[in-house]
Amino acid sequence: MSRSATYPIRMLNPALRLRTGSRRAGHPHGVCKTGRGSSRSCNRIVAPGVPVLYQTFSISFEETGMPEQKRLYIKTYGCQMNVYDSERMAEAMGEHGYKTTSDPEGADLILLNTCHIREKAAEKVYSELGRLKPLKASNPNLRIGVAGCVAQAEGAEIMRRQPMVDLVVGPQSYHRLPELEARARNGEHPLDTEFPAELKFEGLSRRPGTNRGPTAFLTVQEGCDRFCAFCVVPYTRGAEASRPVSSVIAEAQRLVANGVREITLLGQNVNAYNGEGRDGAVSLAKLISGMEAIDGLDRIRYTTSHPNDMTDDLIEAHGTCPKLMPYLHLPVQSGSDRILKRMNRGHTAKAYVRLIERIRAARPDILISGDFIVGFPEETEVDFADTMALVEEVRYGQSYSFKYSARPGTPAAERDQVDPEVASDRLERLQTLLSRQQRDSQDDMIGREVGVLFERKGRKQDQMVGKSEHLHAVHVSNGNIVAGDLLRVRITDSAPNSLAGELTAG
Ligand code: 5AD
Ligand code: SF4
- The verdict on the CB of residue 228 being under 6 Å from ligand 2 is yes
Q: Is the pLDDT assigned to residue 46 strictly greater than 90? A: no
pLDDT tens digits, residue range 95-104? 999 999 999 9
Provide the percentage of residues in the chain whose pLDDT is more than 70. Answer: 85
pLDDT of residue 410: 96
HEC letters along 109-168: EEEEEECCCCCCHHHHHHHHHHHHHHHHHHCCCCEEEEEHHHHHHHHHHHHHHCCCCCEE
pLDDT of residue 245: 96
Lowest mean pLDDT among 60-69, 268-277, 337-346, 478-487: 60-69
Can you name the residues that pair with 218 across neighbouring β-strands? 265
Q: For all residues of the chain together, what is the average pLDDT?
A: 87
pLDDT of residue 38: 34
Please state the rounded mean pLDDT for residues 430-446: 97
- The verdict on the CB of residue 234 being under 6 Å from ligand 2 is yes
Strand pairing category for 463-468 and 473-477? antiparallel
Asked, colleague to colleague, whether 31-192 and 449-503 share their fold, the answer is no
pLDDT tens digits, residue range 445-482? 999 999 999 999 999 999 999 999 999 999 999 999 99
Half-sphere exposure of 281 (CA within 13 A, CB side): 12
H-type helices in 215-280, by residue range?
233-236, 245-257
Domain ranges of the chain: 31-192, 449-503
pLDDT of residue 51: 34
Question: CATH for 31-192?
Answer: 3.40.50.12160
- 405 to 154, 265, 377, 423: CA distances (angstroms): 18, 27, 10, 10
Neighbours of 188 (CB within 10 A): 12
With the most atoms of ligand 1 within 8 angstroms of its CB, the residue from 80, 230, 332 to mutate is: 230
With the most atoms of ligand 1 within 8 angstroms of its CB, the residue from 42, 371, 401 to mutate is: 371
Three-class SS state of 423: helix
Q: Is the pLDDT assigned to residue 328 strictly greater than 50? A: yes
Lowest mean pLDDT among 25-39, 73-87, 171-185: 25-39
Pocket of ligand 1 (CB under 6 A): 28-29, 31-32, 117-118, 230-231, 331, 333, 371, 373, 402, 404-405, 407
Q: How far is the CA of 344 from the centre of ligand 2 (A)?
A: 10
pLDDT tens digits, residue range 182-235? 999 999 999 999 887 666 777 776 776 666 799 999 999 999 999 999 999 999
Provide the percentage of residues in the chain whose pLDDT is more than 90. Answer: 80
- Reported residue count of the chain is 506
H-type helices in 204-327, by residue range?
233-236, 245-257, 284-291, 312-320
Q: Is the pLDDT assigned to residue 403 strictly greater than 80? A: yes
Atom index in ligand 1 nearest the CA of residue 31 equals 15
Give 13's DSSP letter: S
- Residue 394 or residue 23, greater confidence: 394
Give 477's DSSP letter: E
Fold classified for 449-503: OB fold (Dihydrolipoamide Acetyltransferase, E2P) (2.40.50)
CA distance 219 to 58: 19
Ligand with the closest atom to the CA of 405:
1
pLDDT of residue 203: 74
